[in-house]
Structure 1
C-alpha cells in the first residue's frame, strides 16, 4: 500500500471517532441479525424435519412456526435499525468533515479561494464528502462483522459437524483474497473518477457564470463541444468504476457458490453413507443437514457484503486524498493567533518593510512598503493596475501574511492577534460587494445581527440605501437574489457601505467605495463616510477626485512600492506621479 494510501486510510479511521457510538451500535445490530439467522435456520429445519420425516400434525408444529415468525420479525427490526444506525454514523462523519473543510476554507481566506476553481471546491465540499458515506455506514461495520459473524455461524455448524465447519472455514479466505486481487486498482480508478467529476463541475460552473460572454463572442458551440468532451471523460471513468465493482461481485458470487456446493456434496455423501467422518459418531439427521445447508449461504454472506462494499472503501480513499489536500494547505499567519486588542477604541496601524509575492519566482506584489495610519486620519491609496493596492488591503485584513516585514496594531504584531477579534474591529467594502439571498434588511444585519432598528435605518440612510429602498414594493424587506440579483451595482455598493456603517468598526478599509454611483449619490455617500470616519482609522483605495480631496494624505503606489506621498493639494501641484495619474 502506497504511503499516501496509508495516510488516507489512517485519516479515515481517525474521523470514525466522531461516530464511534453509532458504528459500534451498527456492528452489534449486525451481529444480532446473524444470531437471528441461526434461530431462523434452526426453526425452519425442525419444521421441515417434522413434516417430511416425522409427519407431525399441524398443531405439534405451532411452537416452531411461532418461533420462526418471531425470529423473522425481530431480524427485520434489527436490520432496519442497523441500516438507520449505519446511515447516522456516515451522516455524523460527513457533517464533521464538511464543517472542518468549511472552517479550513474560511481560515485560508479569499486569497486561497481566488486561486481555486469554485466548481472544484464545491465538488470537494459536496460530492467528495458524500463519497465518505459508504465507508462509515457500510464498509467499516462490515469489516468487524466479517470476523464476528462467520465465527458465530461456524460455531453453530461445528455443533452439528466439525467437518462441515472446517470446510466453511477453509474456503472462507478465498473470497477476500480474490476480491482484493480483482480490486487492486480500484483506489486509483476511483480517484481518477473523482478528479474527472471535479473538472466537470468546475467547467459547468465556469460556463454558467460566463454565459453572456460566450454568447457575445459567439463561442457557445465550442464550449458545448468542450462540455461534451468533459462529460464523455466522466462517463468513461464511471464505467471503469462500475466494471471493477461488477467484476468483484461476480468473483465473490462464484467462490461463494462453489464453497456452498462443496458443503452440499459433503452432506449428500454423508446421507448416502460414503462419508462417515465429522459427525461425532452419530448418523446425520435431516434436520441437522438442513440446518447446516441453510447456514452455509449466510456464512459467506458477510464476506460477500464486504466485497460488495469494497468499492465504498475505494471511493472513500479517493475522496480522502482530495479532502486531505484541502485540509493540509498552509494557513495565513493570522489564523493561528490568540492575542487580544488592549485598546480597540482607537487603532493605530503601522506597516514596516512589507514584502510579498503570491508564488515563488513571480514578480513581488509588494516591495518594502511602509506606512502608518492613526485614528481620525484618512489615507487614500492610488496606483495603476498591479501596483499592489489590493495586496496591501489583503495583508491588513489578515487574509495573507507578508514574506518580510510586519504589521503592528497598537504596537502588537497583527499575526499574533485572534482572527475573529481583529476582524470584528475592521469594516471593509470591496470593489465587488457580495450580497446573499435574502431581504435587504437581512443583508444589512450581517454587519451587526443584534442592531436596533433605529441604528439600522440610520446606517441605510447614511449610505443612500433608503433612497432606492423606498421605491421597492416591500422596502427593506424586499428580497434580493444571490450576488445582489435585482439590484444595480451602485445599489449593491450602497448596501455594502450601510453594512459597514452598521458594524461601527474602528478600522475602515474601502476599495473604490463610490464605484458605480452617480454624482449626486456619490456626494451624499461621501458625506456619510466623512461623518462616520470621525475618530476611526481609514484607508481607501480610489481613483475618483471627489474621494481624494476628502483624504488627509495620499499614497501613490507603483510596482509594489510607495513612490509618492503627501496631502492632496501639495501633490496636485507637485507635477509628480500623482498628477500624472489624475491627468490620465
Structure 2
C-alpha cells in the first residue's frame, strides 16, 4: 500500500472514530438492548432444556416453566424489535450529522471546489448513505460479537465445562477465518466507491450536456464509455461480494463443525444415558453463540463500505472551517482597494492576477473590462471569499479584507452572475432566497425595482407562479431580472456583477442596465463586463493578463 492510500485510510479511520464518539449515545442503546436480548435467550434456553428433559423423564419441569419460557420468548422478540428500531435511529442520526457537515463544507468552498457536480452529489448522497450501516449495524454488531460469545460460552461452561471449551475454541478460530477471507477487502471496497463516484459524475455531466452530444452525434460513443465505466463498477462490486460470500461460508462451516462436536460429545446422554438437560442446553445455545458472529460477518460489509466512503469524505470534512474575524456591524458604505494583488490557480499556467491594483470608492461603480482570462472574475471571487490572494493586499474601508471570515465577506455583497439559477419554487420564494426574513412588501418592492413585475403580472399566479425545474419556463432575460431582484432585496453595501448583460437581446439589455444603474446607486459596485454598453454603467478599468492595461477612464453617464 502506497503512502497516499495509507494516508487516506488513516484519515478515514480518524473520521469514523470522531463520528462514533459524537454518536456514542445513539449507538450504545442498541448494544445494551442486544445484550439484554441475549440474557433473555440464555434464560429461555435453560427453561426449554428443562422442559425437554422432563419430556424424556428427567426433572420436574411443568406448566409454570412452559409459561416462563413463553414469556421469555415474547420478551426476547420485543427486545429484538426495540434493538432494530434503535439501530435505525442511530443510522438516521449519523446520516443527518454527516450530510449536514458535508453540505456545510461544500457551501463554504463554493465555486473554489475543483470537483465536478456529479462527484459532489455522490459525496453528499451515496457516500453518506454508505456510512449508515457502520453506525446502525457494524458498531453494535462488533460490540455484541465481543461480548455475546463469551457470555454464552460462560453459560454453557456452567452447565457443561467440556462444551464450553468447544465453543471457546470455535470463538478463537473465527477471527482467523475472517482474516483469511477478508484480505484486501477494504481496498476492494474503496475501489468500488471510486468507480461509483466516477460513473455518477460522468453520467450526470453527460445528461446535462445531452443536447450537445446529440448535436455532434456523439451519443453512441458516450453510451459505450458509460458502459465501460459501468463494467468497471460491476467488476469491483463482484470482488466485494466475493468477500461477503467467503466470510459467510467460513462461518457456516464453523457453526456446523461445533454442532457436530457437541452432538458427538453428548450422544450417550441424548440417547437415554442420563439427565440430558446440560446437553440440550449446550446444543440450544450453539445458534445463540454464533448469532452475534453472524451479525458481525453480515455487518462486516457495512464496515468495508464505510471505509471506502469515509476515505472520500475525510478530505472534505477534515479541512477546518476558514478562520477569520466577524463583522461587528454592517458598514453602510465600503471602499475596496486592491494593492499589487497576485493569484494563481495552477503553477503550470500564467497567474490569474499579476500585481493588480485599483480602488473603488464608496458609492462608485467600477467596470472591469478586458478579454476572457484577464482576471475579472478572479477579482469577484476574492471579494466573495472563495479564493485568497497569494500576495498583495485587499482592503475594505482600509482594513485587511482577508482577515474576515469568507462568510462575512459574502455578507457584505450582493452577487449577480451570468446564468442565475432558479430553484423549483415560486417567483416570490426565489426572490426571498436572498433574505428569508423579508416581508411580502419588501419582496414586491425588489421585484418592481428589477422589472420582474413587468412579466410576472402576465403569469398564471403572478409572483406565486411555480418556476424552475418542472415549473413555468422563464427566458434568460427574465431569469436575470429575478437575480437582480434578489440583489435589491439583499440591500448589501457592495454589489458584484459578472457579465450581467451577457446573452441578452438589446431590448432586455436596456431594461437590465436600467435596473443595474438603480441597484448601484449609492452602493459600491464592481462589474465584470464585455458588453458594449459597459461605458453606461460607470468608470471603466481595462485589465489584461491580470494587471491594469492602462489608465482608468470615466465612462459616460447612464
TM-score range, shorter chain: over 0.9
- Paired with 2:404 and 2:230, the residues of 1 have a C-alpha distance of 47
- Paired with 1:342 and 1:45, the residues of 2 have a C-alpha distance of 76
Out of 417-426 and 483-492, give the one that drifted further.
Answer: 483-492
- Paired with 1:443 and 1:528, the residues of 2 have a C-alpha distance of 18
- Unaligned 5+ segments in structure 2 are none
TM-score, normalised via structure 1 length? 0.90
Partner of 2:390: 403
Out of 538-547 and 250-259, give the one that drifted further.
Answer: 538-547
Q: CA deviation at 1:478?
A: 0.7
Distance of aligned partners of 1:21 and 1:285 in 2 relative to their CA distance in 1, 3 Å threshold: same
- Paired with 2:470 and 2:510, the residues of 1 have a C-alpha distance of 25
- Paired with 2:75 and 2:228, the residues of 1 have a C-alpha distance of 51
- Paired with 1:272 and 1:481, the residues of 2 have a C-alpha distance of 77
- Paired with 2:175 and 2:10, the residues of 1 have a C-alpha distance of 19
Which aligned pairs between 1:229-378 and structure 2 lie closer than 5 A? Answer: 229-268=228-267, 285-328=275-318, 335-340=322-327, 344-378=331-365
Q: CA deviation at 1:477?
A: 0.6
Partner of 2:456: 469
Q: 2:550 aligns with which of 564, 568, 581?
A: 564
CA-to-aligned-CA distance 1:305-327 (integer Å, 9 cap, x gap): 21222121111111111111222
CA-to-aligned-CA distance 1:12-60 (integer Å, 9 cap, x gap): 122012321121111111111111111221121122112222598xxx7
- Paired with 1:484 and 1:289, the residues of 2 have a C-alpha distance of 71
Q: 2:17 aligns with which of 6, 13, 16?
A: 13
Which aligned pairs between 1:169-180 and structure 2 lie closer than 5 A? Answer: 169-180=168-179
- Paired with 1:337 and 1:464, the residues of 2 have a C-alpha distance of 38
Out of 304-313 and 172-181, give the one that drifted further.
Answer: 304-313
Give the secondary-structure state (helix, strand or coil) at the position aligned to 1:450.
coil
CA-to-aligned-CA distance 1:413-458 (integer Å, 9 cap, x gap): 1121133333222011011111111000000001222223232222
Partner of 2:88: 87
8 Å CA contact retained: 2:133, 2:306: yes
Partner of 1:122: 121
Distance of aligned partners of 1:228 and 1:535 in 2 relative to their CA distance in 1, 3 Å threshold: same
- Paired with 2:470 and 2:541, the residues of 1 have a C-alpha distance of 32
8 Å CA contact retained: 1:168, 1:263: no
Partner of 1:523: 510
TM-score, normalised via structure 2 length? 0.94
Give the secondary-structure state (helix, strand or coil) at the position aligned to 2:62.
helix
- Unaligned 5+ segments in structure 1 are 274-282, 571-584
Partner of 1:574: none
State yes or no: 1:167 paired with 2:166: yes
- Paired with 1:127 and 1:569, the residues of 2 have a C-alpha distance of 52
Give the secondary-structure state (helix, strand or coil) at the position aligned to 1:141.
helix
Which aligned pairs between 1:373-522 and structure 2 lie closer than 5 A? Answer: 373-482=360-469, 486-522=473-509
CA RMSD of aligned residues (A): 2.1
8 Å CA contact retained: 1:397, 1:423: yes
- Paired with 1:133 and 1:404, the residues of 2 have a C-alpha distance of 44
Partner of 2:130: 131
Q: 2:530 aligns with which of 523, 534, 543?
A: 543
- Paired with 1:451 and 1:29, the residues of 2 have a C-alpha distance of 49
Give the secondary-structure state (helix, strand or coil) at the position aligned to 2:549.
strand
CA-to-aligned-CA distance 1:522-544 (integer Å, 9 cap, x gap): 33332333233222111111222
Give the secondary-structure state (helix, strand or coil) at the position aligned to 1:566.
coil
8 Å CA contact retained: 1:30, 1:82: yes
- Paired with 2:263 and 2:30, the residues of 1 have a C-alpha distance of 32
Q: CA deviation at 1:102?
A: 1.0
- Paired with 1:353 and 1:181, the residues of 2 have a C-alpha distance of 62
- Paired with 1:458 and 1:229, the residues of 2 have a C-alpha distance of 54
- Paired with 1:132 and 1:550, the residues of 2 have a C-alpha distance of 52
- Paired with 2:238 and 2:420, the residues of 1 have a C-alpha distance of 43
8 Å CA contact retained: 1:434, 1:484: no
- Paired with 2:365 and 2:9, the residues of 1 have a C-alpha distance of 54
- Paired with 2:67 and 2:155, the residues of 1 have a C-alpha distance of 21
- Paired with 2:545 and 2:470, the residues of 1 have a C-alpha distance of 32
Distance of aligned partners of 1:483 and 1:464 in 2 relative to their CA distance in 1, 3 Å threshold: farther
